[in-house]
């Protein structure tokens, strides 16, 4: 008697669980689904936030690692689905697409740091160039209706052939990263033209935020200024202070990625602010924000100069403005100050931890 009641209750639980699973599956099927490669990166985390707000089911592709690296998406882990696959492994990509059946794929994963591309050029090509073909091949095999976004880069303009740079400006990359991105760009165009895929290449100029990788110059300066002001460091070593970059605010740039995939026809777009500044100007504003003069703390270190430098980049994003209705909102000064303010908070937390309070 007792045993059969338990059996019936377990049976009910199972029924309930099954019904819930079917309900969840139906909910998932009725939502638009986006797959993001590189979800643990700066842009991936902002794009996931944006797509969740828009009601998407968001699946993030992560590569296997011995320790989880989910710092940027900690606040989202309950709302996104994380699946393991790797841009180096063709079969893992095919299986992932078969399993998830996304409507949109955003390929943000890459080896994205230029100095590393000089020291590891072959690995950079595997991820950043051939990885794009592997993903496009997976789409071609599994579902040609999937809309595809490729994260291309202003680094493809490199030694610039005209100023400002627009979609038709000839490319001249100056690093293994830039060369690999150029391959990714052209293979995206080629699959669009060969197989009629809805595939777009977003040629994004530098975009920054408190979630930017720590080795990039903006985050490095913001962190350096805050730590020096907090007494946690005394100097900041940098390379070329005179290069010009068109720096924008990353959360605004992921909106442009999404808009590219909502048009009638797939095209490529330049995204940037149309203004450029130097690391020296970034230093001036960042150190002033914490009441210091950068000239007392910044040291130029020749070891940080690059074998070949991109001296100047400046976007002409008028096509994005007229077609996508996209325009940047955050000024350079606002960007520097918000990044420094975030680092001041981080430095204060580090100081509190060090003093045990
Ligand atoms: P990040 O370097 O912050 O993120 C890169 C992401 O790629 C990480 O999630 C990383 O995962 C993932 N990744 C690297 N290799 C692999 C692999 N083999 N398989 C799976 N995942 C991998 O880059 P951003 O967010 O700044 O940039 C996003 C994309 O946009 C990149 O492709 C970048 O090159 C491009 N871009 C960026 C610009 C910018 O100013 N930020 C400008 C123009 C283009 P993990 O956490 O495991 O390392
Ligand atoms: P990039 O445009 O993708 O190379 O973005 P970075 O933030 O890495 O570099 C932007 C510019 O800052 C480049 O011209 C670098 O040479 C210059 N720069 C100067 N000092 C540094 C430094 O210490 N670190 C980095 N990453 N860049 C530096």
From the CA of 301, the nearest ligand is: 2
Q: In 3D, which of 57, 73, 48, 75 has the Cα closest to residue 257?
A: 48
Structure confidence at residue 24 (pLDDT): 66
Cα separation values, 148 from 138, 189, 200, 212, Å: 11, 11, 6, 24
Q: Is 4 a catalytic residue?
A: no
Query: Does residue 117 have its Cβ closer than 6 Å to ligand 1?
Result: no
Tens of pLDDT, residue by residue over 257-302, are 999 999 999 999 999 999 999 999 999 999 999 999 999 999 999 9
pLDDT at position 15 is 82
Residue 168 near residue 197, CB atoms below 8 Å: no
Q: Note the pTM of the prediction, 2 decimals.
A: 0.93
Condensed to tens digits (0 to 9), the pLDDT of residues 153-190 reads: 999 999 999 999 999 999 999 999 999 999 999 999 99
155 is catalytic: yes
CA gyration radius, the chain: 23
C-alpha 67 to ligand 2 mean position (Å): 28
Q: Which residue among the candidates 153, 154, 201, 209 is catalytic per the annotation?
A: 153
DSSP states of 289-356: HTT--GGGTEEE-GGGS-SS---B--B--HHIIIII-------HHHHHHHHHHHHHHHHHHHHHHHTT
Kindly tell me if the per-residue pLDDT of 4 is higher than 80.
Answer: no
Q: For residue 169, what are its two tokens?
A: 């400006």
Q: Token pair for residue 324? A: 């996508």
Is 177 labeled as catalytic in the residue annotation?
Answer: yes
Nearest atom in ligand 1 to 131's CA? 18
CA distance 217 to 280: 10
Ligand 1 contact, 182 CB (< 6 A):
no
- Please state, in angstroms and as integers, the Cα–Cα distance from residue 290 to each residue in 109, 225, 240, 344, following that order: 34, 7, 23, 9
């Amino acid at each position: 008697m007792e045993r059969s009641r338990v059996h019936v209750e377990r049976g009910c639980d199972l029924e309930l669980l099954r019904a819930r699973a079917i309900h969840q599956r139906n909910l998932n099927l009725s939502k638009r689904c986006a797959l993001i490669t590189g979800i643990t990166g700066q842009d991936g985390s902002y794009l996931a936030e944006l797509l969740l707000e828009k009601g998407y089911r968001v699946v993030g592709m992560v590569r296997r690692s011995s320790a989880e690296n989910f710092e940027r998406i900690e606040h989202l882990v309950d709302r996104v689905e994380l699946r393991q696959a790797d841009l180096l492994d063709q079969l893992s990509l095919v299986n992932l697409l078969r399993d998830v059946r996304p409507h949109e794929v955003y390929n943000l994963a890459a080896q994205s740091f230029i100095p590393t591309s000089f020291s590891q050029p072959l690995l950079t090509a595997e991820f950043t160039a051939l990885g794009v073909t592997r993903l496009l091949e997976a789409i071609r095999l599994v579902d040609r209706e999937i809309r595809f976004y490729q994260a291309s880069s202003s680094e493809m303009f490199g030694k610039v052939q005209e100023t400002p740079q627009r979609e038709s400006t000839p490319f001249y990359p100056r690093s293994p990263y830039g060369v690999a991105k150029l391959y990714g760009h052209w293979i995206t165009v080629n699959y669009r033209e060969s197989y009629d895929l809805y595939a777009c290449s977003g040629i994004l100029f530098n975009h920054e935020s408190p979630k930017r990788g720590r080795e990039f110059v903006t985050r490095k300066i913001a962190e350096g200024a805050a730590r020096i002001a907090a007494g946690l460091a005394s100097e900041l070593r940098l390379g070329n202070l005179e290069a010009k970059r068109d720096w924008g605010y990353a959360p605004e740039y992921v909106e442009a990625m999404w808009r590219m995939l909502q048009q009638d026809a797939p095209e490529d777009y330049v995204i940037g602010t149309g203004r450029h500044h130097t690391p020296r100007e970034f230093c001036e504003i960042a150190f002033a924000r914490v009441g210091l003069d950068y000239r007392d703390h910044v040291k130029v270190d020749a070891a940080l100069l690059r074998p070949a430098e991109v001296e100047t980049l400046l976007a002409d994003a008028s096509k994005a403005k007229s077609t996508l209705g996209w325009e940047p909102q955050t000024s350079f000064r606002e960007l520097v100050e918000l990044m420094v303010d975030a680092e001041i908070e981080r430095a204060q937390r580090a100081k509190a931890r060090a003093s045990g309070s």
